[in-house]
Structure 1
Amino acid sequence: MALFRDVVVLGLVALLVESVAGLSKLGVDPPTTAQCTAVTNILRFDCYPEDGATEELCNNRGCCWLPPTTAERKNPSLGVILDIPYCYYPTGYGSYELSDLSDTSAGKSATLKRNVASYIPNDINTIQIDAKFESQTRLHVRLYDPANQRWEPPLPQLPQVAGGETNTDYEFVMEESKIGFQVVRKSTKEVLFNTQDVGGFIFADQFIQMSALLPSNYTYGLGEHRASFPLNMHWQRFTMWNRDQGPSEYVSCRCITAMNAPFDWDTFLNVTAIFYFHEHLQICGYHISINLLTCLLGNNLCCLFVQTNLYGTHPFYLSMETSNNAHGVLLFNSNGMAEILECEIKPLNLFPDVLLQPTPAITYRTVGGILDMYFLMGPTPADVVKQYTELIGRPFIPPYWGLGFHLCRYGYADLADTKAAMTRTQDAGIPLDTQWNDLDYMENQNDFTYDTDKFAGLPDFFTGDSYQVCYIPQNGMHYIPLIDPGVSGSEAYRTVGGILDMYFLMGPTPADVVKQYTELIGRPFIPPYWGLGFHLCRYGYADLADTKAAMTRTQDAGIPLDTQWNDLDYMENQNDFTYDTDKFAGLPDFVDELHQARNLSRHYFSQNGMHYIPLIDPGVSGSEASGTYPPYDRGVELGVFIKDSSGTPFLGKVWNPVSTVWPDFTHPDSITYWKEMLQSMYDLFEFDGAWIVKYTRQINQDREKCIQEGWFIISKGMMPRLSSTDTALPEHLRFYNSD
């Protein structure tokens, strides 16, 4: 049962990015050396979870900047590099002061009052803490804004208890000298949940963060994710955001020595030949797909699983204590969140999550609501589950036939295909109780319908009279169709500006429609004949020798090769219109050899020579010293870069190490600029085509400036946020689109 299924928070990413504006306006002094060195690596709580952290940005938040040494980062017993935060909270990090501590008829209460602004806007300056002793084994703790009603999930309806139980298995501890609280088991004096002066407590309008120390590394739950039963506490992230996808995972691997360290790809392929490939994996610059990988824990690699979030959200975990007792914790909050068992792979964006780290500790981050927590004291795991379902509701007992073998997948072409799958199952000797259909059975994928053409005869499918096969049990089989709680409405166009300017093309054949459409917008260019051949490319060639080696392997496999590509590996410092004269020394001669391939002995070169295509992203480095990088200097001279409201080039971040600027291709001089840059590169080596990537602009740095200039992040893209009367910025809305 999904506790908070199908919860939608509109504009989540935009709100998160907006929430980090104005970080440098705090006036917070950097911490002292003593405050930073007092925090051991295992007690570091990440103060800059979004990408783009620097020492300056870290210090602006009043946090410590201390990259761990290589020896500290490598844990030989795990075979991985722990992701110890570079930027972390110091001891004595200011946020709130606790006051008005008192006993109540229900339990205890206190007030938190903020004494220094956080780096998130719209701090809630007064927080009420109410602890209600609901039963001997259940403690209810709420942290909320006493002045304003905030969102709280209406379902499931949890029991309303007056509280005031005096015979409890727990103690609830607060001290006016410390921020936060502790939950302690009375019988063993073991601290089960300790937030006192742990990490950086933030309670703002659209961002809440709380960290706590846990009693052990044996933690279970935090669904829904495909993960090991005991959760991995080595810097793990769990996103609490309902998502319509099946269970999957991917693995992120890094070279211990460096991202571009030498890597024996052939050995890796031999080692991983037994695994199934599914989703994205990057190993030292190599991109492949993978579904299950136990990890290559050798001298060169660090591999960590990343579990994707699934259909439902259960922000509940069960933890075993050192005394072998068990307890459970529920955060009753339906806003987007994540928990990290902190051994996380660094996030790309400041996104709600739950983090787990090997302290052991947990960090909750959510984008709204309140902190409404239930502590269930067990003491056995079975007791915890009983107490949890007593709180949220017991699951329904499934019918007996529901425990049998069920057959289902998306993609049955028609009813005959469904029947064929059943027959194959029976032929394999598998007893079958229930057949399912995904949305394939629907008419036009609409709820409460069925396709009377492809699924003609569906009503008679399981009557028992018209469908007799030997593997139907005596009491009949059962049938379950998909019925999503999403009903088709009228089709609609939605846009943020401009006019509705529409063309209707009448065909009447599909070929006629395509002809009329390209007649309207322009015919596509006819590719050169060699462009239709076999092209070889990937990201991660270590150098020119590695590129040539890949070509040789292709030839040895008997694959005819027409064109070789290079991703940004060939560039100097990942800058457009350059090439690395060290790693790719000899690139101009290499291209010439490709063009004269008929003179080489390799039989896989075509008679008319091979061709070469380099990547040329439309993102230019904006951080090079004046006079050292002509692509930037010339762009500034012509004024062709996208500008912010001050008239200076807008700085973002993609592949360039520090910052990126982008040509505004609506500028009248942009074509002149682009042709000049391409010519300058052609003068270096005579490439045959340009791989111009359409990508979205990832703003990893200067986020506060991004917000001030009226931009916001959607997915991985960047769009200007302008009203129809806003004249401070050029109207780029009509030109920019997110991937």
Structure 2
Amino acid sequence: MVNSEHNQYFIINIKSWESAIFYFLFCSKHTFLPLTDTGDDDVGKITCPNIEVGQRVDCFPEGGASKQKCEARQCCWQPLNEKNAPWCFFSSEHGYSVVTLTKPTDYARLKRKPSASLFGGDIQELAFHAEMQTGNRLRFKIYDAHKQRFEVPHEHIRSVASNPSRPISDTLEITREPFALTVRRPDNKKILFDTRLTPLVFADQYLQLSSMLPSDYIYGLGEHVHQNYRHSTNWRTWPIFTRDSFPNGVTLQPAPAVTYRTIGGILDFYILFGETPEQVVQEFLELTGKPVIPPYWSLGFQLSRWNYGSLSEVKKVVERNRAIGIPYEIQYTDIDYMEDKKDFTYDKTKFSELPQFADYLHEKGQKYILILDPAIATSKRQGNAPYEAYDRGTERNAWVTTSDGKTPLLGEVWPGETVFPDYTSQDCIDWWSDEYERLYREIKHDALWIVSQS
């Protein structure tokens, strides 16, 4: 089970009907730089914990470790014959200490222990806040105590007035030195999430949190093609997004344990409890809201093809399928229905009867979906006529810009040189809504397929 929006990731651990979701939010507006300054001059002793190899957390995750580089970070260097296990792992000198802890709200101030830095820019004082939002949902956040950092603005995660049926002490335990948290199932006290495994790292451009897991039955982590539903814990790292590279990623290891790494923002976790996977999913839906139920007809057979060439050819395809009794519900037209592949237009020669095409399909109980590829051409329309959709978008500053915040970012997609709608801008949203309403009034259709911008 996974919601794979760009900033949401899940691990679902299921064994003997004991279930929990770890729901991790992060976002960053930073660019990761491989810094060399250690940040602290007081690099003293190295106390190596007596742990199994499968519990080691890599202290040199970017690769290229050596004894000298490892110990410069005040980490432990112990070479192995095993290929994937880290030779350089965290010592007991790293992490944070709890300075103050307020009950029952579980608000804490954390101070970084004097130790070497991995990449520099370590945040010296952090805030920790936890709350039981419901009887089966725990949320905790770790963030800069003094400076506002970027947090994911997510309109679908509703704010909740905490009204749990059990106290947070039934679920959460804080270790003060070094700072760690232990999350237990409220009923049988089984540990689900235990960050005592290794110290917290929280720098300006590098955040890391590791936890022991209750079993190696681990599922989830979207944005990837997974060969198996159940994940391997043989030192496997999944990047946050398909094309991400270090440090963004989630590492699973034999302990079993998980390590989250990212380049900025804050750490914001939801842990959801349930006796069955269905109960856990239900708790998740209580947090995010239930998905829209799709129309029944959208579940039927659908036909889409690039380059029909003309509406008459599309109709031939429809009639041929009707004649042999293929019960397909939906006919699409790809962007070749447009005038020179320009959004919010149609070819008035080859697709002149497109505005009536939906009625033609509706006569036989079929539906019509048209496609938009929202990269907006900068060129004129045929006959040097103005491209109204582009002109109106330019007037409303609807485009993604370069770093100066003013100059539209240019690319090249199907219609040639293009600009790209900035859907984070209300001006763009207003422009897009207006253009779509204009299109719908001109070309009747039942749904819209918005394909990629690249």
Partner residue of 1:463?
359
Partner residue of 2:36?
21
Q: Is the Cα–Cα contact under 8 Å of residues 58 and 88 in structure 2 kept in the other structure?
A: yes
Aligned partner (choices 52, 75, 88) of residue 40 of structure 1: 52
Partner residue of 2:219?
220
Deviations 1:256-282, CA, capped at 9 Å, x for gaps: xxxxxxxxxxxxxxxxxxxxxxxxxxx
Q: 2: distance between equivalents of 1:167 and 1:377? A: 13
Instruction: For 1:650-669, list aligned pairs within 5 A.
Output: none
Q: 2: distance between equivalents of 1:118 and 1:150? A: 20
Deviations 1:362-396, CA, capped at 9 Å, x for gaps: 11112222112111111211111111111112100
- The count of residues paired between Structure 1 and Structure 2 equals 363
Instruction: For 1:511-590, list aligned pairs within 5 A.
Output: none
Gaps of 5+ in 2: 9-25, 380-389, 391-398, 404-454
> Could you tell me the TM-score, scaled by structure 1's length?
0.44
Aligned partner (choices 420, 434, 444) of residue 330 of structure 2: 434
> Could you tell me the TM-score, scaled by structure 2's length?
0.69
What letter matches 2:55 in structure 1? L
Instruction: For 1:241-640, list aligned pairs within 5 A.
Output: 241=241, 308=242, 350-408=246-304, 415=311, 431-452=327-348, 455-464=351-360, 476-484=365-373, 487-488=376-377
Deviations 1:556-612, CA, capped at 9 Å, x for gaps: xxxxxxxxxxxxxxxxxxxxxxxxxxxxxxxxxxxxxxxxxxxxxxxxxxxxxxxxx
Aligned partner (choices 95, 106, 109) of residue 108 of structure 1: 106
Q: Is the Cα–Cα contact under 8 Å of residues 27 and 266 in structure 2 kept in the other structure?
A: no
Partner residue of 1:187?
187
Q: 2: distance between equivalents of 1:95 and 1:24? A: 14
Cα 1:6–1:58 shift into 2, 3 Å = closer
Shift of 1:175: 2.0
Q: 2: distance between equivalents of 1:93 and 1:420? A: 74
Cα 1:6–1:120 shift into 2, 3 Å = closer
Q: Is the Cα–Cα contact under 8 Å of residues 44 and 84 in structure 1 kept in the other structure?
A: yes
Q: 2: distance between equivalents of 1:96 and 1:199? A: 11
Q: 1: distance between equivalents of 2:329 and 2:54? A: 51
Cα 1:21–1:415 shift into 2, 3 Å = farther
Partner residue of 1:583?
none
Q: 1: distance between equivalents of 2:219 and 2:317? A: 36
Partner secondary structure for residue 183 of structure 2: strand
Q: Is the Cα–Cα contact under 8 Å of residues 376 and 384 in structure 1 kept in the other structure?
A: yes
What letter matches 1:17 in structure 2? L
What letter matches 1:114 in structure 2? R
Gaps of 5+ in 1: 74-82, 242-307, 310-337, 339-348, 497-739
Shift of 1:446: 3.5
Q: Is the Cα–Cα contact under 8 Å of residues 27 and 60 in structure 1 kept in the other structure?
A: no
Partner secondary structure for residue 181 of structure 1: strand
Shift of 1:153: 2.0
Partner secondary structure for residue 139 of structure 1: strand
Partner residue of 1:63?
75
Larger relative contact order, structure 1 or 2 (CA cutoff 8 Å, min sep 6): 2
Shift of 1:445: 4.0
Partner residue of 1:85?
86
Cα 1:51–1:399 shift into 2, 3 Å = same
Q: Is the Cα–Cα contact under 8 Å of residues 356 and 362 in structure 1 kept in the other structure?
A: yes
Partner residue of 1:96?
96
1:119 equivalent in alignment to 2:135: no
Deviations 1:543-562, CA, capped at 9 Å, x for gaps: xxxxxxxxxxxxxxxxxxxx
Instruction: For 1:681-700, list aligned pairs within 5 A.
Output: none
Q: 2: distance between equivalents of 1:232 and 1:416? A: 53
Q: Is the Cα–Cα contact under 8 Å of residues 26 and 61 in structure 1 kept in the other structure?
A: no
Shift of 1:359: 1.8
Deviations 1:222-251, CA, capped at 9 Å, x for gaps: 22322232333333333333xxxxxxxxxx
More strand by share: 2
User: What is the percent sequence identity of the aligned residues?
Assistant: 36
What letter matches 2:188 in structure 1? T
Shift of 1:44: 1.7
Task: Kindly report the root-mean-square deviation, in angstroms, between the aligned alpha carbons of the 2 structures.
Answer: 3.6
Q: 1: distance between equivalents of 2:86 and 2:325? A: 53
Cα 1:150–1:9 shift into 2, 3 Å = closer
Shift of 1:484: 4.9
Cα 1:195–1:432 shift into 2, 3 Å = same
Q: 1: distance between equivalents of 2:314 and 2:252? A: 43
Partner secondary structure for residue 462 of structure 1: helix
Cα 1:427–1:232 shift into 2, 3 Å = farther
Cα 1:6–1:89 shift into 2, 3 Å = closer
Q: 2: distance between equivalents of 1:212 and 1:478? A: 50
Instruction: Choose 1 or 2 for highest CA Rg.
Output: 1
Cα 1:133–1:495 shift into 2, 3 Å = closer
What letter matches 1:210 in structure 2? L
